[in-house]
Structure 1
Amino acid sequence: MAKRQLHRLTARQAETISKPGRHGDGGNLFLVIGAGAARSWCFIYRDADTGRLRELGLGPAKGVRKHGLTLAQAREKAAAMRQLRLGGLDPIAHCKAEKTQAVTFGPFALELLESIKGGFRNPKTASEWRRGFEVHAKALAAKRLNAIDTAEVLSVLKPLWLVKPKTARELRGRIERVLDAAKVKGLRTGSNPAAWKGHLSELLPVQSRRKQHHAAAAYDAVPEIMDKIRADTSTLARLLEFNVLTCVRAEEARAARVYEIDFEAKTWTIPADRTKMGRDHVVPLVGRAIEILKAVIHKDAQPNMFVFAGRSGEKPIGKDRATNLLREIAPGATLHGMRSSFRDWCGDKTGFSREVAEATLAHAIGNQVEQAYRRSDALEKRRALMNAWDAWCAGIPESDNVVPFQIN
């Protein structure tokens, strides 16, 4: 009797064979028993072009543990692979193509976000990316990566382009990055439909680039505003006052930790990972700022504790609470606007150089000058400026508030 070429194994054999190695069922189907009794089905065939043996895993094999593909299910998959070969197709290439076609924009974008968010300096950046994908680019979520075209990208961007220009620009860049990453992973081919130069730049209208300024109180009004803040004895009010006195960004003050404060040197060092410029920023502490810190930092406070802690003591005061309090006291004003008030005061009422004022605000001020103002004397020049600002905020008359005019 001729030896059967197909269906050499019985269902019982397929589930009970334990000898390591390959056990053929015929028709290119093999039960593979590996080290540790791992069981799987494999379709083994010769490449039509090279003649080399190729192996395509079909999935785990059912065994004693009663999970995986049964013999019948494995035979069905193997039959489908043989049909592909009869049609001139390579099974492995076909399966890869099917997987590629199945990957959609939404899940891939979120997967990419998870892999790159560790490099974001601002913790809220990841949530902004996620919101952009899930809300503004929702129409792309179910689209296959290789099928997304220019028209679909434009349908997402156009409703935002002139209404929310900054959001639209950021979203375009993020979509472009997702599609670039998909191409690198072999999930799409061709040019990027979200590319800007020479592509979407020719299809979208020019956006207005008028700069939006934060509302700033006149510096003459600052002493009165500070009087109202000081009338409130809460920790929230102390945070607001400290923020104005030190001229730092709102998040930098809110998230200050005890170990950053050096009472002996009278400085506060904001770590690079919490600054916009990505480098340590040393703030000279003077007068009222030191009084506030001594009042809010408990004598038994641990180094890593937040200076301006919320009710639980484990987290800083809630985001935007200081800004909201400022708006109640001075409607329309913002904490960032108070930095502008300080800068206007520097230019109009003092003789401190532009470089000293910009260094106080932790602004980029050019390579050579920046290096000069990172020397030790720059801190003392900034301390002198902060002393003058401290006095101005306290409402000390200008005749008593001696402001140097020859500091360069």
Structure 2
Amino acid sequence: MGAINRLSARTVQTLTEPGRHADGDGLYLVVDEGGGKRWVYLFRLAGKRREMGLGPLRTVSLAQARDLAGKARALAAQGLDPVAARQADLPSPEPAPRTAPTFAAIADAFMDDRAGKRRNAKHRQQWRNTQTTYAANLWTMPVSNIGTPDVLAVLRPIWREKPETASRVRGRIERILDAAKVEGHREGENPARWRGHLEHTLPKAAKLSRGHHAALPYRDVPAFVESLRSRVADSARALELIILTAARSGEVHGMRASEVDLVAAVWTVPAERMKGGRPHRVPLSRPALAILAPRIAAVGPDDLLFTNTRGGALSDMVFEALFRRAKVADVTTHGFRSSFRDWAGDETDWPAAGLVDTVLS
């Protein structure tokens, strides 16, 4: 017997290539030339190959198709014809009314489908723990039944007290419910959507803080960077580079031309300037390279790339002056590392914990 359960709920929704696509043990999803999708079960009876239709995908889910095929398989194993049994109204694998899967089922499938996209077992467990801890009331609900009041019941108790966590939980609920809609288990707008929806009910998240390092919410960072680019001072370019690389300010204060490889687009911070005492390689984006390239061309390999008006190293005081001029209160330079981590955790497939050990080490 070959492998079974080869297909996933997301795969059956996204397949477009015409032909038969095996789930295993005789069950196939057939994609017609016109794009229609239907289930068939292939079996042998009295030495002859037979085909049994199980219904279209729009009314029969993957789980139901597997159940129907299993019942037909059991009849065939007894020497009975499942097609004839259905036609004679004998015990047969007629589809039951379709029931939407639970939030838990969609969340698990969502993570499994992304298992090969930088997510490891530890991060998948982190996702599950976040949802079971803070979204427990959603966990066993059919995804089709979840509405705005249910999402607000999750978020309101932690929105002010734990703004970072609440933002992350909201984003994950939104993505899970979006996946449920793609798979045909929900209709209408996503009740966890922020823009144009929850933003009118929940207060705007306060500026986040991690320990004593106040941080700018990551959604406000692009506007702040734009304001920095209107300034010509070395301090403005240094702060922009800190934001682009999620580096510590001290690493940029002491940055020298010899540490940057413009061709490889990598900045290597030597061990003696790292908090952990080991060299650290930082990938450089195009905006970061645009800041560094002209400076490297204008100085010697051992020269500082950012200096104060007297030619010495910058201090964090110059960044505080930039915050005052931009009229941004309760923000610290170090806090942009928190902003970066929150953005990555909410908006990308990188686990936040992994970023602490890699990009932010």
Give the TM-score range, shorter chain. Answer: 0.3 to 0.5
Larger radius of gyration: 1
TM-score norm. by structure 2 comes to: 0.44
TM-score norm. by structure 1 comes to: 0.40
Q: Which one scores higher on RCO, CA 8 angstroms, separation ≥ 6?
A: 2
